């Protein structure tokens, strides 16, 4: 099977390319230099040239705080760029997977969100990703929209790597303890995406590592696993704080935990628990220490 992956330099895109290649698929992996998703003509040309069976659209504007003021930039990539990939896929009768986000929800409910809850994004980033979802549904006949959350992987910067660094540099760390979600290892998400493209069970899915925690609880687990698996000397004192004590330009969902109802209804294999994902991340870092500083 021929698979085109956008966002090749991103942490998810890199894991996707590796895992899909190992599974025997012919992978065309493009970064922004090779594929400008904001240019419709260029998108149509690239996709029609390699003629993939699947387009896995990982490329995104993910600077959540910057998007609050760079509104046009966020919508150009997340909405118009997604429209272009959707049109290009549909033109050659390819199927598409669009990777979306928990930020399409307001985060104001007490219970986990199911796929059929109405989105209500509060940030420009969340609104632009929801616009991308709408583009896929409008222009494609066969699609998966996969909402995920709190991604971390071996490649690129992410919360886990930042906490590992700060835990060794700072005497004290305050981390938000009133935002709850599900950390997700990019390898686990890539394997789930690999599994769904062999089906025709199209639709919207929530796909994060199972279980949930706050950022403070996540950081505590990061420190525990780093000491145990990597032998790191993490000396920082960890203290909980509130969102109000750590203000950011873009609002964050207080509760972005997503129930995996569609995975269960379609009898698919769920993702592992986030603690298992985190432990495997540490073991993988141990095998590839050169990626720790990337």
Q: Report, as residue numbers or ranges, the catalytic residues.
A: 125
Q: How far is C-alpha 206 from the geometric centre of its chain's CA atoms? A: 11
Residue 29 corresponds to which tokens in the numbers above?
């992996």
């Amino acid at each position: 099977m021929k698979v085109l992956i956008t966002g090749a330099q991103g942490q998810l895109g890199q894991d996707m390319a590796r895992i899909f290649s190992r599974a025997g698929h012919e992978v065309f992996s493009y970064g922004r230099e090779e594929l400008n998703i904001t240019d419709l003509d260029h998108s149509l040309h690239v996709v029609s040239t390699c003629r993939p069976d699947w387009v896995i659209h990982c490329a995104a504007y993910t600077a959540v705080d910057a998007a609050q003021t760079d509104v046009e930039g966020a919508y150009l990539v997340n909405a118009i760029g997604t429209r272009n990939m959707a049109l290009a896929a549909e033109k050659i009768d390819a199927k598409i997977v669009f990777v979306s986000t928990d930020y399409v929800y307001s985060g104001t409910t007490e219970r986990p969100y199911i796929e059929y809850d109405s989105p209500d994004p509060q940030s420009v980033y969340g609104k632009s990703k929801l616009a991308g979802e709408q583009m896929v549904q409008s222009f494609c006949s066969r699609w998966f929209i996969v909402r995920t959350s709190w991604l971390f992987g071996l490649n690129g910067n992410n919360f886990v790597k930042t906490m590992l660094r700060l835990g060794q540099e700072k005497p004290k760390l305050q981390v938000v303890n009133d935002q709850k979600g599900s950390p997700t290892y990019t390898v686990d998400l890539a394997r789930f995406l690999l599994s769904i493209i062999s089906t025709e069970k199209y639709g919207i899915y929530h796909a994060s590592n199972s279980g949930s925690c706050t950022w403070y609880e996540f950081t505590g687990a990061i420190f525990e696993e780093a000491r145990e698996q990597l032998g790191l000397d993490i000396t920082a004192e960890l203290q909980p704080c509130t969102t109000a004590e750590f203000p950011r330009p873009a609002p964050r969902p207080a509760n972005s935990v997503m129930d995996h109802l569609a995975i269960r209804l379609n009898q698919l294999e769920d993702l592992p628990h986030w603690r298992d994902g985190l432990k495997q991340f540490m073991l993988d870092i141990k095998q590839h220490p050169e990626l720790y500083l990337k």
